[in-house]
Each structure stands twice: as C-alpha cells, then as structure tokens.
Amino acid sequence: MIAGAPPILEAVGISLRFGGVAALREVSFAVQTGEVFSIIGPNGAGKTSMVNCISGRYRPSEGSIWFEGRDITRPPANRRPAIGIGRTFQNLALFSHMTVLDNIMVGRHHLLRRGFLSGMAYWIGGAQRDEIAHRGEVEEIIDFLDIQHVRKAPAGTLPYGLRKRVELARAVAVKPKLLLLDEPMAGMNLEEKEDMARCILDLNEEWGMTVLMIEHDMGVVMDISQRVLVLDFGRKLAEGPPEVVLTDPQVRRAYLGGASDGAPAGELATAP
C-alpha cells in the first residue's frame, strides 16, 4: 500500500435491490492503492453483487462508487477497462473454441488505436504494427503467468486450473490498475491454489496491480490479504486486517453459528 495516498476505490452507502429482495444494504468501504483486499462472507452474503456493482454489470439502487476520485456509479461495464478496471468471473467466461493467445488478446480490444478505415488498409496502414505490439504484450503476460506451453491450445481443451489462469491472463491484458477477482481459486486443488496465489501476489508486488478478491478459502485470505471486508445478508459486518476481523464475534457467528463463539481462531480458516 502507498502510505497517505487516497483510496483507489471507495464504495459509499451501496444498496442493491431486485424487486423486494435486498442484495446489498448500505455497504461502505475503501480499497487502498497497492493492496490485496478480500471480500468474504457466507454464500448469499452479497459478495458477487458488490463486485458486479464495481464492474458496472449492476447499477446500485442507492449509493455511489468512486475510482481514483471519479464517480463511476452510472457508466456501463464496457467503460471500465478504459479507466483501468479488469475482472474475472466466478464462472469461466472464456471462448472455448479460441486459442489461449486469442482469448487473452480479447482483453486488449479497448487498447487498439486503429479505426475501421485503417483496418481496411491493414497491410499498408498501421493496424498490423498495432497488432504486433499488442501480441508482444500478450506474450509477456503468458510468460509471466507460466502458460507458454498452452498458448496455442483451444481454451476449452485445458484442465480447469489452467483455464482459470487463462481467465486471469485475459483480465491482466486489460492493463488494469484495479483487478477484480471473483473466486479465482474455486474448484482448484491445493497445488493449483498455491500457483494462483503466487500469481496474484506477483501481479500485486511486481506489476503494481491493486487486487480486490472474493475468496472462500480462509487460509488463502489470511496469507495474501492486507485487509478484509465481511458481508452477511447484504450487510457489512466488519472491515480490517484479516487476523483482527476473523476473531470478531459477529463474523464467527456468521460463519460457524452462535455456539462457536469460544472456538479457537484457527478453526474459522477451515470453515467452508
């Protein structure tokens, strides 16, 4: 984190309703530049709804979202990449028939500077040079995330863990300042989780990306997060360092029930 810097992201009083159902209720929090920030909570707590509000898929019923001091509450999702926000999805959203390389190239579409007319004159204009430059940056991402060996394989033929890493690579191709990760380790085995955690930390530390992550694995959350936000039934329960938040009695009740108040803190890390 950058000491004294204003937050890169701030949510103020976010409420989200679908008819009579309240998915979020007056949730406020801030993410500091350069940190790994996790949103946790039981199933149905409103975690993905919050990320969908930040990424522009949903528009909050009330409240506002600020990115680098700019109100981004109303602009649609397709405006987010241009201002520096990339994301992955809880359910894989890759193009199965396309190669890994081409899937990642999709993440750079908003960075292409050549228009329709120059595209028609592809071989004599600058569009070819533009594409070559973007392919060079994609290859750098492929090397960084260690997926060189599958770069030409159709995404749909890959094992689940590798497809999750390709999805991450496509989000990184946006060149985001803020990377939103919706359960990046869901469905992975221990080795795959360790690899993904290392990739996230490297992107944060070496590439300077601020990370906001939804994750159910409390061991991962404890290991790589600087701060944590806990949601339950759409309400904010706690926010702060994970070792403090996970000992909060309200948080423990939300995860393990009222009878668990006296349980050792380590037991929460193994909760589903």
Residue 210 contacts residue 31 (beta carbons within 8 Å) = yes
Using pLDDT thresholds of 50, 70 and 90, give the confidence band for residue 66: very high
Using pLDDT thresholds of 50, 70 and 90, give the confidence band for residue 108: confident
Question: Residues 243-250: what's their mean pLDDT?
Answer: 91
Share of the chain above pLDDT 70, in %: 83
Using pLDDT thresholds of 50, 70 and 90, give the confidence band for residue 268: low
Q: Please count the residues of the chain.
A: 272
Query: What is the model's pLDDT at position 91?
Result: 82
CATH 3.40.50.300-classified regions of the chain: 1-81+179-185+211-272, 85-175
Question: For the chain, what is the radius of gyration of the CA atoms?
Answer: 20
Query: What is the model's pLDDT at position 200?
Result: 97
85-175: which CATH architecture?
3-Layer(aba) Sandwich (3.40)
Report CA torsion sign: 7, 76, 199, 91.
positive
Query: What is the model's pLDDT at position 135?
Result: 83
Question: Residues 139-149: what's their mean pLDDT?
Answer: 94
Query: What is the model's pLDDT at position 103?
Result: 92
- DSSP annotation of 109 reads G
Angle, nearest 10°, between helix axes 127-144 and 160-173? Answer: 130
Question: Residues 89-94: what's their mean pLDDT?
Answer: 84
Report the mean per-residue pLDDT for the chain: 87
Query: What is the model's pLDDT at position 116?
Result: 46
Cα(29)–Cα(130) distance, integer angstroms: 39
Query: What is the model's pLDDT at position 267?
Result: 47
Q: What is the separation of C-alpha 163 from the centre of its chain, rounded to a whole number of angstroms?
A: 16
More confident residue, 260 or 66: 66
Helix (H, G, I), strand (E, B) or coil at 14: strand
Query: What is the model's pLDDT at position 260?
Result: 46
Residue 74 pLDDT greater than 90, yes or no: yes
Query: What is the model's pLDDT at position 131?
Result: 65
Q: What tokens were used for 255? A: 């995860």
pLDDT one-digit tens code per residue, 171-191: 999 999 999 999 999 989 999
- DSSP annotation of 262 reads T
Query: What is the model's pLDDT at position 111?
Result: 60
Instruction: State which amino acid sits at residue 55.
Output: S
Using pLDDT thresholds of 50, 70 and 90, give the confidence band for residue 98: very high
Question: Residues 134-162: what's their mean pLDDT?
Answer: 92
**Within 13 Å, how many C-alpha atoms sit on residue 230's CB side?**
22
Query: What is the model's pLDDT at position 266?
Result: 46
Task: State the pTM of this model.
Answer: 0.86
Helix (H, G, I), strand (E, B) or coil at 62: strand
- The CATH number of the structural domain formed by 1-81+179-185+211-272 is 3.40.50.300
- DSSP annotation of 118 reads H
Count of Cβ atoms closer than 10 Å to residue 54 Cβ = 24
Query: What is the model's pLDDT at position 92?
Result: 81
Q: What tokens were used for 20? A: 């009579």
More confident residue, 146 or 130: 146
Residue 2 contacts residue 32 (beta carbons within 8 Å) = yes
